[in-house]
Structure 1
Amino acid sequence: MDVNIKEIKGSWDKGYSLDKHIFSSSPAGYNSHGFLQFRTVRSVIGEVLFQLKYRLDFSPDEFCAQVNLLASQILKSLEVTFSLVDLVVPIPPSKKRDKQPVVEIAKEYARLKNIPCYENLLLKNSYTKPLKNVHNTKDRISTLTGVFSVIDVLPEGLHNILLIDDLVYTGVSLEAATAVLRSYNKIRNVFVLTITRKEQE
């Protein structure tokens, strides 16, 4: 799979995203219920992620196959970059789903790399509205204030963690999570990986 990897800057030690989420989106008229529809062109990675989040709830085999595809791509593209990582942490989702794509991708990547995944290390104290619907940076920061907390579940020592998220736009969510993780005395370095990115205009 072709990807367009880009470094993402922030308070973490090193971060990357695999590709853009969307190349273009334009109005395509109204549906029979009067809702405006859009003609959206996604990257290959963006389309796989979209299918995982919104289309594959009732196809478990296909869901697992696409999760493996994304996790394998992370390993293939950034194996050397993340060679020091010794555990994986998914960023807690904003919306409840039967299967959380970010969590499943993190677990599969950890399995492929033969390192642990701690999905209960970083917790969201309350569910928030999806940040894709919060367009003002100040409001995004306010939405996430005090939302994350860390549970002391790691073995003794200092660990290099890989924080995985599905999509980055302003990076506010990743910044908030990184700040909380850095307050934990068992963390040495925080690395960040997002499957896709929405680039600011």
Structure 2
Amino acid sequence: MLVDVKTLTGNWDAGYALHKHVLSTTYLGDDEHGHPRFDTVRSEPGEALYKLKYRSDWTQVGPLADQLRQSLLPRFREVGLIVPMPPTVHRVRQPVAEIATQLGRLAELPVFTDLLSKTACVGAPQLKNLTGKDEKAAALAGCFAVKDAIGGNGPWNALLLDDLFDTGASMEAACTALRAYPKIGRIYAATITKT
């Protein structure tokens, strides 16, 4: 899988994505119903992520996890555990949790799928209706909760894993919640792709 590692800027200690999500988009005109059509060329990690999330191609989990292990994990010092970002959309199988679990197997690291949760933010608008990072950050303030799921005293360095990095508002809100948990030391951010 061809990668072009990108830096992720935020309130974590270090962060990276495997590649850009989309390499190019060409407008092809409107279809018979007046809807615009596009030819979208994705990076290899972007195409694998697209197939996983929108075509339920679960064979993409292994290659994506292995690429994270090879290309990103060595960039972080002494990762002690993996924390997948909580899902926004309910699915029977969650792509980020599946990738995190497989990465944990490959790297022999514990994965805490229930450590971080997204709580109901009463009155907050849906993120898809917001465009700027500041608007999204305001809507996400206090929307993540941490469950005391780690045994021992810690602190352990955590790899916070997500699929697609856009503004970073969600990961920053999650990172803020994790920083308040005394069993977490450094926090590293990793995503498959970046917009």
TM-score, normalisation: structure 1: 0.89
Q: Could you say what secondary structure the match of 2:75 adopts?
A: coil
2:93 pairs, out of 95, 99, 122, with 99
TM-score, normalisation: structure 2: 0.91
Deviations 1:19-63 (A, max 9, x none): 00001223222334432222111111101101111112xxxxx41
Contact 1:25–1:38 at 8 Å: present in 2 too?
yes
Q: Could you say what secondary structure the match of 1:167 adopts?
A: strand
User: Structure 1: where are the runs of 5+ without partners?
Assistant: 57-61
1:134 pairs, out of 130, 153, 178, with 130
Q: Could you say what secondary structure the match of 1:191 adopts?
A: strand
Contact 1:4–1:20 at 8 Å: present in 2 too?
yes
Between stretches 120-129 and 150-159, larger displacement belongs to 120-129
Q: How many residues align?
A: 192
Aligned-pair CA distance for 1:149:
0.5
Contact 1:85–1:162 at 8 Å: present in 2 too?
yes
Q: In the alignment, does 2:119 pair up with 1:125?
A: yes
CA distance in structure 1 between the aligned counterparts of 2:184 and 2:55, rounded to whole angstroms: 36
Q: Could you say what secondary structure the match of 2:74 adopts?
A: coil
| Residue 98 to residue 29, structure 1, CA distance change in 2 (3 Å) | farther
Q: Could you say what secondary structure the match of 2:28 adopts?
A: strand
CA distance in structure 1 between the aligned counterparts of 2:107 and 2:70, rounded to whole angstroms: 11
Corresponding residue for 2:2?
2
CA distance in structure 1 between the aligned counterparts of 2:162 and 2:99, rounded to whole angstroms: 9
RMSD (CA atoms):
1.8
Between stretches 142-151 and 73-82, larger displacement belongs to 73-82
Corresponding residue for 1:77?
71
Q: In the alignment, does 2:147 pair up with 1:151?
A: yes
CA distance in structure 1 between the aligned counterparts of 2:126 and 2:66, rounded to whole angstroms: 27
Aligned-pair CA distance for 1:134:
2.5
Deviations 1:108-135 (A, max 9, x none): 1011111111010000013887745521
Aligned-pair CA distance for 1:79:
3.5
Q: Could you say what secondary structure the match of 1:46 adopts?
A: helix
**Residue identity matched to 1:49:** L
**Residue identity matched to 1:148:** F
Deviations 1:132-186 (A, max 9, x none): 5521223211221221010001012211110001111211111111111000011
Between stretches 104-113 and 134-143, larger displacement belongs to 134-143
Identity percentage of aligned residues: 43
Contact 2:72–2:190 at 8 Å: present in 1 too?
no
CA distance in structure 1 between the aligned counterparts of 2:49 and 2:149, rounded to whole angstroms: 29
Contact 2:18–2:68 at 8 Å: present in 1 too?
yes
CA distance in structure 2 between the aligned counterparts of 1:160 and 1:129, rounded to whole angstroms: 32
Corresponding residue for 1:163?
160
Between stretches 25-34 and 145-154, larger displacement belongs to 25-34
Corresponding residue for 1:113?
107
Aligned-pair CA distance for 1:99:
1.6
